[in-house]
Chains A and B, each alone.
Chain A
Amino acid sequence: MSVTSPLRRKLPVAGAILAAFALTLTACSSGSGSVPGETSGSEQTDATSSVFENAPVAADELIIPDSTMAKIKERGKLIVGEALDAPLLSQQDPANPDDVSGFDADLAKLLAIYILGEPNVEIVPPASETREALLANGTVDVVFNTYTITEERATQISFAGPYFSSGLAVAVKSDNTDIKGIEDLGGKTVIVGANTPAVIAVPEEQPTAELVDFATDPQAVQALLQGRGDAYVQDYTLLASDAAANDKLKVVGQPFTSEPYGIGLKHDDADFKEFINNWLLEIQEGGQWGEAWKTTLGTVVDSEIPTPPAIGSVPGS
C-alpha cells in the first residue's frame, strides 16, 4: 500500500490546471467586456491633457505654515485614497499601471497640481470599509472615492465639497418590460454592488425587495444577465456606461436618490477643508471641473455639463 505517485502522472494534472486557468481567464474577459471607453482610449488621453492645461496653482500665502497642505508640499506628493477599478471614475489602465483615468482621478491630479504645481499623486486603493480608518490614521491625505456625504460618516471624518451629485437608478435585462423603475421592485430580487449606497437606499424605498450584493460592477451585470436577480440598482452614470457597452441591459426610469459625493479629509482639519473648498470653486469657475466631467462621465450620458452642487449644501459637508 504505497501512496507515492510516479512522476508520469503529473502530465494530465498539468493539463487540468491549465484548463482551469483557461476557464478562469474566460470568465474574467467576459466580465471586463462591459468596461466602457476602451475604444476611445487615445482620444481620451488627448482630451484629458486639456483638463490640466492652465490648471490653477495655489498662491504661496494659501499654504499656511505647519498646515496639512504645507506638509503635502514638503513631501512632494499627494497621497489619495481612490479606486483602481471604477470605470469612468478612477480606473487603472492594465497595460500601463501609471495611467489612472476617470473623473475622481482627474480631480485628484488637479488638486495635486494646485498644491504642488505638478500632478504628483500616490494612490492607495481603499476598500469602502476602510476609508474612515485610512483618513483617521493619516495613511492618505484625501479620499476621492464616490464617497457619499452622510451625517454618520461626518462624525468620523470631514467632507469637503460636495464636488459631484449623482443618483441611483434601476437597470434590467433588455427584454424585461415589467419593471419600469424603483416603484416596481417590491418583492423582487434586486442586485446591488457591495458597499454602495444602494445597500441602504433600496430597502428604504422597497422594504420587501430582497437584496443580493456582488463585489464589483462587472460581476453584478453578469449576475443580472444570468437571472440571479430581477433588477440591478447602481449609480446612474455607471449603469449608463454598462448599458452603452452591453445591449442586453437597459436603464429604466430616472435616478431615485441624490448622492452627493464629497472629498474625505481627516476630521476637524478646518484649514485644509477651507483650502479644498476654495480649490473646488476655482476649478469650477476655471472650467477644469466641466472639462474633467466631459471627458469621463460625460462620454456615456447625452447631456450638457451639469451644474456642480453648491459647496457645503449637504448635511455633513
Chain B
Amino acid sequence: MNILMENFGLLLEALGTTLLMAVVAGIGSLILGVLVTVARVSPIPILRAAAFGYVQFFINVPLLALLLLAVFALPDAGLILPLLPTAIIVLTFYEAAYVAEAVRSGVNTVGVGQIEAARALGLSLGQSLRLVVIPQSLRAVVQPLGNVMIALAMNTALAAVVGVVELTSRVNKVNLVYAQPIEIFTAAGLVYMAIALAIGLATGWVERNVAIVR
C-alpha cells in the first residue's frame, strides 16, 4: 500500500484524466448517438444511409486502430490536435455508434399506434420524434446505455497507448519504478471496478425512476 500512498497525488491526477475522458466522451456520445438514431429512422434516404454507414464503420473498426489513425495519420493530413482532446473525440465518435444502436432498439419498442396517433394529432415529424418517440425509446434502453457507458469508461485505458497520461498509463509508470505489478495493477483494477460499479448503480437508479410500466 506504501507505493500507492507515495504516488497518491500523481495517481489521483491520472484518475481525474480518466474520469474527465469518460464524462466528456460519455455526454458527447449520448448526444451524438441520439442524433445518429434520429437520422437512421428518419424518412430521408440520404440521412438513413449516412447514419447506417456511420454506425457500421465505427462498430467494425477497432477503437485502437481509430486512435492510432487519429493520432498519427491526421497530422500527416495537416490536422494536429493535442493528445487528450484527440482521444476524447475518437472515443465520442466510437461510442456514439453503440449508443445509436442501443437507442434504435428502444425506438423499435415504441408502438406504431403511438406514431400514428402523434401524426393524427397534427404533430410534425420533428415534434413526434422529439416529444413521443425519442423520450419513450430512451426510457426503454437505460440499462443498455449504462453498459455502453461502462464499456466507454474501460475503453479510456486504450488512450494510454497514444501517450495520454490516464490511470493505466500512470500505473504503468509507477510500476516501472517499483516493479510490483501484482499490487499496482490490482489496485488499478479495483479503481476501474469501482467506476463500473458506480455507473451500474446510477443506471439502476435512473431506470427505476423512468421505466415505463406496461
Q: Which residues of A contact B182 (CB under 8 A)?
A: 133
Q: In the complex the two chains form, is B57's CB within 8 Å of A17's CB?
A: yes
Q: In the complex the two chains form, is A132's CB within 8 Å of B115's CB?
A: no
Q: In the complex the two chains form, is B53's CB within 8 Å of A13's CB?
A: yes
Q: In the complex the two chains form, is A129's CB within 8 Å of B177's CB?
A: no
Q: Which of B40, B104, B173, B176 has the most CB of A within 10 A?
A: B176
Q: In the complex the two chains form, is A195's CB within 8 Å of B177's CB?
A: no
Q: In the bound complex, how far is the Cα of B178 from the Cα of A12, in angstroms? A: 51
Q: In the complex the two chains form, is B179's CB within 8 Å of A156's CB?
A: yes
Determine how close the nearest CB of chain B comes to the CB of A63; give it in whole angstroms: 30
Interface flag for A284 (CB, 8 Å): no
Our pick among B61, B73, B173 for the contact of A199 (Cβ within 8 Å) is B173
Q: In the complex the two chains form, is A215's CB within 8 Å of B69's CB?
A: no
Instruction: Kindly identify, within residues 101 to 132 of chain A, every residue whose CB is under 8 Å from any CB belonging to chain B.
Output: 128-130, 132
**Residue in A closest to B60 when the chains form the complex, CB atoms:** A17
Our pick among B76, B80, B112, B185 for the contact of A129 (Cβ within 8 Å) is B185
**Residue in A closest to B41 when the chains form the complex, CB atoms:** A3
Interface flag for B4 (CB, 8 Å): no
Q: In the complex the two chains form, is B172's CB within 8 Å of A5's CB?
A: no
The digit string for A200-220, where 1 denotes a CB below 8 A from any CB of B, is: 100000000000111100010
Interface flag for A1 (CB, 8 Å): yes
- Chain A interface helix/strand/loop/mixed: helix
Chain B interface residue count: which class? 35 or more
**Residue in B closest to A210 when the chains form the complex, CB atoms:** B165
* A-side interface residues, number (CB < 8 Å): 41
Q: In the complex the two chains form, is A226's CB within 8 Å of B75's CB?
A: yes
Q: In the complex the two chains form, is A20's CB within 8 Å of B40's CB?
A: no
The digit string for A1-42, where 1 denotes a CB below 8 A from any CB of B, is: 101010001001100110010011011001100000000000
Interface flag for A70 (CB, 8 Å): no
Q: In the complex the two chains form, is A130's CB within 8 Å of B181's CB?
A: yes
Q: In the complex the two chains form, is A223's CB within 8 Å of B163's CB?
A: yes
Q: In the complex the two chains form, is A1's CB within 8 Å of B41's CB?
A: yes
Our pick among A13, A132, A226 for the contact of B181 (Cβ within 8 Å) is A132
Instruction: Kindly identify, within residues 59 to 104 of chain A, every residue whose CB is under 8 Å from any CB belonging to chain B.
Output: none
A156 and B76 in contact, given A13-B53, A194-B172 (Cβ under 8 angstroms): no
Q: In the complex the two chains form, is A132's CB within 8 Å of B179's CB?
A: yes
Q: Which residues of A contact B49 (CB under 8 A)?
A: 9, 12
Interface flag for B120 (CB, 8 Å): no
Q: In the bound complex, how far is the Cα of B108 from the Cα of A128, in angstroms? A: 48
Q: In the bound complex, how far is the Cα of B117 from the Cα of A142, in angstroms? A: 73
Q: In the complex the two chains form, is B72's CB within 8 Å of A223's CB?
A: yes
Interface flag for B36 (CB, 8 Å): no
Interface flag for B195 (CB, 8 Å): no
Q: Which residues of A contact B32 (CB under 8 A)?
A: none
The digit string for B61-92, where 1 denotes a CB below 8 A from any CB of A, is: 10001001101110110001001000000000
Q: Which residues of B contact A212 (CB under 8 A)?
A: 83, 163
Q: Which residues of A are interface residues toward B (Cβ below 8 A)?
A: 1, 3, 5, 9, 12-13, 16-17, 20, 23-24, 26-27, 30-31, 128-130, 132-133, 150, 152-153, 155-157, 191, 194-195, 199-200, 212-215, 219, 222-223, 226-228
Instruction: Name 7 A/B residue pairs within 8 A (Cβ), A-sorted.
Output: A5-B48, A16-B56, A24-B61, A27-B68, A27-B73, A155-B179, A226-B72
Sample of 8 further A-B pairs with CB below 8 A, known A13-B52, A31-B72, A222-B72:
A1-B41, A13-B57, A24-B68, A133-B181, A194-B161, A195-B172, A219-B68, A226-B76
Closest 6 CB pairs of A and B: A226-B75, A153-B179, A212-B163, A13-B56, A215-B161, A27-B73
